[in-house]
Structure 1
Amino acid sequence: MQPEQPPPQHAWQFFRAGGVDQVIIQSGADIAHLAELDQKLWVALACPTRGIEFDERTLDLIDTDKDGRIRPPELLAACAWACAQLHNADELAQPGDTLEIRAIDDRTEEGAALAAEARRLLAMAGRPEATEIALADVLTRSEQLSALRFNGDGIITVDTAGKDDTVAREAIAHIITTHGSIPPTTDKQLPGIDRERAESFFAELNKLRAWADQARGATTGLALGDRTLAATEAMNAVAAKVEDFFARTRLAAYDPRAATALNPSLDEYSAMASQDLGLASPAITTLPLAPITPGGALPLRHGVNPAWAKALRNFSERTVEPLLARSNAESLTQDEWQLIQRALAPCQQWLADRPATRLDVLDEEVREALLASDAEQRVMALIDEDEAEQAHNEQALGLEKLLRFKRDLLELLNNFVSFSAFYQRRGAIFQAGTLYLDARSCDLVVQVPDAARHAKLAGLAKTYLAYCDCTRKGQKMGIVAAFTAGDVDFLFVGRNGVFYDRDGHDWDATITRIIENPTSIRQAFFSPYKKFVRMIEEQVAKRASASDARAQKSLGTAAGTLASTDLKTVGTNASSVTVPGTPRRTDVGTVAAIGVALGSISAVLVGIFGKFVDLGVWIPLALIGIVLAISGPSMLIAWLKLRQRSLGPILDASGWAINGRMRVNTRLGGSLSQVAKVPANARRMLDDPFAESKSPVWVGLGVLVAVLVVGFVAWRAHWLDRWVPQVTVTPPVAAPAAGASDATPAASVASPAR
């Protein structure tokens, strides 16, 4: 929840666009006081860091939590930090990525460090007298880090040590072998080490030295002295197999019948005979050290398992002979084995106390050489020297951040806090480019990674949307284009166009999905008639196709029948051959019924036409009423949808969080989708040699019918009475009645001829 804020002290300016009051951000004071602006007045509350036309590095510097989205707290923190590093916040409202060093506020510790680093970078670039630094100067220094011996990332490689420093180079290589590597920031393919790995390596090395020193001191009082460790290690190498041998001999002594089962069988040897054997083969190493006999002694030199012969000889020379005071010992009894174990038990404990390290992969001679040299001091000195550059790296990063904010922060605010860049047609950061298709250009194009997911929410925008797959030189991209003006009769899935991104690169675009909505009132007015004509065309085409199919089938059947008829009987029985598909004679009753139906329909139509003509001067209003009855509902629906047409759902589906409705009215829509127009100063040749010719007969008939209809309507409406002469008709005088004395002259009755 946004914390309660004190009443704003800054005088803000707003403009009205998209049905929303939007703040004007154009000065450093506006940026410095942005935290005072109520977030309910912000147009957007979040935007993604990818898929928009904005510098990704700048967005990553603002996105402190690295979640791929920019939110108000992060944007406010960026504004506050940038203002704190400058004497005057108006520097953030100036275009460009250069900055006067004196503009940095060196009264603070961080500002002084940034100014000092700027002068240092200029001196390294050979321009110590320069007074301003550019973003390119900082980026050049970053690019040169790969060529520097110490780059400040705290990671050193074998090459960091001098070519003559073999001790340090070998030590670094051993650390990489035992403790793994970490790549430096300048080369992700090069293995290196950091302080943690180096300290862990030398700590383990010193632990081993301390343990070895303790073991040597403790074994000096034993019978073998300093040879005790070697004797114990030789014993441990064969201890498990020796225990196995004596256990088998004791079991055979318990029951002589077990000796056969305890020795390898002939079947086992037969199975080994079919294999490629070696002394290290599991089939041999798992066999007993020697043949099992009841209570037998262990031979040490002859008749032993060849896989263990070398280890037994080493055990005999280093352990058995010195402890038992026998030279060239040939065998070992179980009692002698137990005596040796008791004698070396203290040393066994010392071996058990050996610290667990990752240095066992190194030979003892290598470990001794490292301990005897000053490898630790040399390696740690290299790491210290590299880390000394880390402070300069952090200051250079701060300079890059400040210069990028100076260049990009105002533009981001005008595409986040307000959408002035969009409504002033300067190109918003969410506009991916321009799509040319169906003789028009669409500027409201948004990059879409998943069309199906985007369409679920974008349909609420009440906008005609066309999703397209774009390809260019093996690259692919998905977009959605809003058609906000013009007709949409010839927009369909599969139609191709060309998309130009903001960098001017052209892509092949193909429509893959369409969300239909009205584009204008005019388009909605003609929509019912176009649909009616389209339905008639589809029905006519369907019936024509069906009739053609029936005719083709009939012809095929007739041809097949004629082809299969016996040629000898064709002449004699021609009259008996009936061609399939021959139409039957039409029934007279059917013809009469059709005539009656047509007569009834004609009578109804004549009656309707007569009533229509009787309207007289109201005929134009009747025509208008008919048109409104047909087009009115479509126009009403279009008007309602156009009032609801907005930008919000389209951007929300792309990962934005739009705070307002952001309407796209007809005027704005007309500027976002522009239809093709011939230039005003162009000369047009209207004589089309390929235009469809119009038959004069049909033109004459059409004119004649139109004249007759107009004349009939005018006559029935008495519009021609002033020009048509009146005809007077005198009816005959009736004979006077009988007995009448006075004859009354008949009145002349004038009647116009009809």
Structure 2
Amino acid sequence: MTSSHTWNFFRAGGFDQVQIDNGADLLALKELDQKLWVALSCPTRGIEFDTHTLDLIDQDRDAHVHANEILGAIAWAGRLLKNPDLLVNGSDHLALADIDDSTEEGQHVLASAQYILKSLGKSHAAEISLADMADIDKFVAGLEFNGDGVIHPSQVGDASLRATIEDIIKCRGSVLDAGGEAGINQEISDAFFSEVAAYSDWLVRGDDDAHVQFLDEKTQAAADAFHAVKDKVNDYFTRCQLAAYDARAAAPLSRSTEDYEHIAAQNLSAQNPDIANFPLATVEPNKPLPLHTGINPAWQSQIEALREQVIVPVFGEKEVLLPSEWVELRAKFAAFEAWQAAKPACSAEKLGNARLREIARSGHKEAIDRLISQDKAVENEVKAIRSVEQLLRYHRDLFKLVNNFVSFRSFYTRRDKALFQLGTLYLDSRSCDLCVRVDDIAKHAEFANMSGLYLAYCECVRKGGAEKMSIAAAFTDGDSDFLMVGRNGIFYDRKGQDWDATIVRILDHPISIRQAFWSPYKKLIKFINEQLEKLAAARAAAADEKLLKAAAESVKPVAEGAPPPTAPKPPFDVGKFAGIFAAIGLALGAIGGVFASIVSGLLGLRIWEIPLAIIGLMLLISGPAMIVAWFKLKKRTLGPILDANGWAINARARINIPFGKTLTQVAYLPEGSHRSQVDPYADQKPVWPYYVLVAGIVAALIALWYMGIFGERPS
């Protein structure tokens, strides 16, 4: 991708990074090949940056800020400022004169800024700040209309209209307006009134049809009573018709004696389901349905309701219901049932027919539509108010974000902490500045292991465990001798708050060349110590066993008056001790031979060659470990640590040895300090090593004299 802009690059971390210094650099970023960007995406949480600003940049609301969203934010802010260099200042104040009002959008933003200042009693102020926007949500919520298209009951003065809005919320639910109050929008209003209109039309069709409402307002109650027994009455008359067809069917259709015997042992009541399954009355050929006596007890109340609400209003007082009359009743209710089947679904049905008819005639739909339209009419003005806050945040934060995204200038120049640096961990006489937040230690460690960095995962708590978080701290200088799971330290976050930190997991990698140099000797010393400890433990165990055995022997019963038996003294085994002495002699001879070979080899050199030989021997031992460590330290990279946290790192951001030393500081005494060498509790050093050293020097001098180094050797 070609660019008309002249770019400056600086080299850090083993790669070239773009240097962004002014507004022209920011506006030209859209021309810079994104292959040269250090990062292409970063999370909106878990980093040390204003989350509100990140949310404003994150247009697709996926909790990540992408390269194109950065470019969009820069372009938008650049259009609204007369001088794009203002974006470099990082200030939370903006002069009104710096807002570019040559465009319609700029005019809206400037007018909104002036309106906000006027509302705060600062009508003559020449600049606006983020502090002025601290209560922007309350400010917007306090407006009569805030452009969100939501109307809530409290902003409606008319009691009748307010009651309708409350009914809509009760039936159709609500949405929150900009101030957090529950209200309705156009979609909810349209759905509610559409249902009410359809339901009201259905009610009118029923009112206008005399065959439907044949009992006027009592028709619904009558229909309920009719349908409660419809199937049971049909069953009864069908049984009577069967009995008329064949008289033999009357007895079994009325239930047998065995059926009554089956329920006879039960504790019976009218609610017994077995009784309810019996016919309404005894079955006889063409028998009418009795309405007062001879009714199945389980159905007595339902038949009484049918008589009062249906039969009496239609036929008058009757003792029985004839089959023909039942057919007539079914015909009357057929039209009602067809009308009921056509009833539209309506969430507002629970309000009752009278209230629904009232709402349908009220004209409240048009009133609510007008209120919503008035609210939406100020949408641009309110957006402009929001845009004032957005512009102020971009004015303060964009330059810092770009220098932690397009390049890692803040991180590699060490002038400021990077966005991903959570704070500083103090542990093992060191401070670690490369500490990142970790949500899932196991998942993070799986990928971060490829970084080649020595990482200590710590669980941090404060306020007695009320607040918790996990971090990964990189140790890039010193050694790992005393770094282990369970060690405690103190972590200071970017706000200066202290957290108790405990190492819970370690990713072991080389830390420094110095550590690699001494590692063979430390391993040898560790091996010798382990062997000596094992030997001492074995000797102690043998001594304990011998003591216990002797104690056991001493408590054996002894004959009264007899002296205690004494163990026979074993004869001196010359062969055994000769073998032991021979083995010791061979071992000492071998050690002496090796030592003599080394000494003779050194003594065969010139004096100035001896130090070189010693240095060469040490390099021969430590060299391989140092070379391996050097290659690993050169390959250390920041990318996997951040990628494991949701970043998309585009460059091979290396952490070489010199830069690593700046990320971990080892403890040093302050310059100009006075140090006393007197330690009253220092360990008492044994004297014999000095005697051995003096004897060795004397022996070496004698050997040199015999070799003629100091002159002619004596005969």
Shared fold per TM-score greater than 0.5: yes
Q: How far is 1:55 from its partner?
A: 1.0
The structure 2 residue matched to 1:350, chosen from 334, 339, 346, is 339
* Paired position in structure 2 for 1:167: 160
- Counterparts of 1:202-601 in structure 2, within 5 Å, are 202-219=193-210, 231-250=222-241, 255=249, 256-260=251-255, 265=260, 267-268=262-263, 271=266, 273=268, 283=273, 286-287=276-277, 290-295=280-285, 296-304=287-295, 309-323=300-314, 325=315, 327-425=316-414, 426-473=416-463, 474-556=466-548, 558-559=550-551, 562=554, 565-566=556-557, 569=559, 572=562, 574-575=564-565, 587-601=573-587
* Cα distance between partner residues in 2 of 1:642 and 1:626: 24
Q: Aligned AA for 2:179?
A: T
The change in CA–CA distance for 1:681 and 1:753 in structure 2 (over 3 A counts) is closer
Contact 2:349 2:356 in 1 (8 A): no
* Cα distance between partner residues in 1 of 2:67 and 2:78: 16
Contact 1:289 1:308 in 2 (8 A): no
**Match status 1:37 vs 2:37:** no
* Paired position in structure 2 for 1:118: 113
Contact 1:433 1:445 in 2 (8 A): yes
* Paired position in structure 2 for 1:753: 714
Aligned residue pairs: how many? 702
The alignment-based identity, stated in percent, is 41
Q: How far is 1:624 from its partner?
A: 2.5
- Counterparts of 1:597-636 in structure 2, within 5 Å, are 597-612=583-598, 613-614=600-601, 615-617=604-606, 618-636=609-627
* Cα distance between partner residues in 2 of 1:481 and 1:86: 41
Q: How far is 1:126 from its partner?
A: 1.5
The change in CA–CA distance for 1:610 and 1:148 in structure 2 (over 3 A counts) is same
* Cα distance between partner residues in 2 of 1:381 and 1:554: 105
* Cα distance between partner residues in 1 of 2:659 and 2:95: 41
Note the alpha carbon deviations across 1:687-733, whole angstroms, 9 max, x for none. Answer: 111111224x4254134223224313422442221xxxx6xxxxxxx
Q: How far is 1:115 from its partner?
A: 1.5
The change in CA–CA distance for 1:641 and 1:315 in structure 2 (over 3 A counts) is same
Contact 2:96 2:126 in 1 (8 A): yes
* Paired position in structure 2 for 1:91: 86
Contact 1:419 1:428 in 2 (8 A): yes
> Secondary structure of 2:40's match?
strand
So what's the TM-score if we normalise by structure 1? Answer: 0.86
| Runs of 4+ more than 6 Å apart | 220-223, 583-586
The structure 2 residue matched to 1:201, chosen from 176, 192, 216, is 192
Structure showing greater radius of gyration is: 1
Contact 1:50 1:68 in 2 (8 A): yes
So what's the TM-score if we normalise by structure 2? Answer: 0.90
> Secondary structure of 2:41's match?
strand
Q: Cα RMSD (Å) of the superposition?
A: 3.0
Contact 2:109 2:387 in 1 (8 A): yes
Contact 2:281 2:290 in 1 (8 A): no
Contact 1:14 1:23 in 2 (8 A): yes
Q: How far is 1:344 from its partner?
A: 3.2
The change in CA–CA distance for 1:237 and 1:191 in structure 2 (over 3 A counts) is farther
The change in CA–CA distance for 1:86 and 1:286 in structure 2 (over 3 A counts) is farther
The change in CA–CA distance for 1:606 and 1:577 in structure 2 (over 3 A counts) is closer
The change in CA–CA distance for 1:316 and 1:386 in structure 2 (over 3 A counts) is farther
Contact 2:140 2:382 in 1 (8 A): no
Q: How far is 1:245 from its partner?
A: 3.6
**Match status 1:648 vs 2:639:** yes
* Cα distance between partner residues in 1 of 2:273 and 2:699: 112
* Cα distance between partner residues in 2 of 1:309 and 1:73: 78
Q: How far is 1:27 from its partner?
A: 0.6
* Paired position in structure 2 for 1:701: 691
* Paired position in structure 2 for 1:746: none
* Cα distance between partner residues in 2 of 1:654 and 1:558: 66
Contact 2:211 2:335 in 1 (8 A): no
Q: How far is 1:465 from its partner?
A: 1.3
* Cα distance between partner residues in 2 of 1:166 and 1:222: 34
> Secondary structure of 2:471's match?
strand
Note the alpha carbon deviations across 1:253-274, whole angstroms, 9 max, x for none. Answer: 652223215997454475455x
Bigger drift between 705-714 and 668-677 goes to 705-714
* Paired position in structure 1 for 2:44: 49
Bigger drift between 75-84 and 25-34 goes to 75-84
Q: List gaps (5 residues or longer) in structure 1.
A: 727-751
The change in CA–CA distance for 1:352 and 1:671 in structure 2 (over 3 A counts) is same
> Secondary structure of 1:616's match?
coil
> Secondary structure of 1:637's match?
helix
The change in CA–CA distance for 1:311 and 1:121 in structure 2 (over 3 A counts) is farther
* Cα distance between partner residues in 2 of 1:102 and 1:666: 49
The change in CA–CA distance for 1:200 and 1:302 in structure 2 (over 3 A counts) is farther
Q: How far is 1:36 from its partner?
A: 0.8
> Secondary structure of 1:10's match?
coil
Note the alpha carbon deviations across 1:170-216, whole angstroms, 9 max, x for none. Answer: 323322332223344433xx643333222222222222221111222
Q: Aligned AA for 2:99?
A: I
Q: How far is 1:122 from its partner?
A: 1.4
Q: List gaps (5 residues or longer) in structure 2.
A: none
Q: How far is 1:312 from its partner?
A: 3.5
* Cα distance between partner residues in 1 of 2:136 and 2:519: 63
> Secondary structure of 1:471's match?
strand
The change in CA–CA distance for 1:329 and 1:661 in structure 2 (over 3 A counts) is same
> Secondary structure of 2:492's match?
strand
The change in CA–CA distance for 1:470 and 1:351 in structure 2 (over 3 A counts) is same
Bigger drift between 140-149 and 103-112 goes to 140-149
* Cα distance between partner residues in 1 of 2:349 and 2:312: 29
Q: Aligned AA for 1:111?
A: G
Q: Aligned AA for 1:574?
A: P
Q: How far is 1:593 from its partner?
A: 2.0
- Counterparts of 1:56-71 in structure 2, within 5 Å, are 56-71=51-66
* Cα distance between partner residues in 1 of 2:137 and 2:515: 57
* Paired position in structure 2 for 1:131: 126
* Paired position in structure 2 for 1:741: none
- Counterparts of 1:707-726 in structure 2, within 5 Å, are 707-721=697-711
Contact 1:43 1:418 in 2 (8 A): yes
* Paired position in structure 2 for 1:75: 70
* Cα distance between partner residues in 1 of 2:55 and 2:658: 36
The change in CA–CA distance for 1:212 and 1:309 in structure 2 (over 3 A counts) is farther
> Secondary structure of 1:511's match?
strand
* Paired position in structure 2 for 1:675: 666
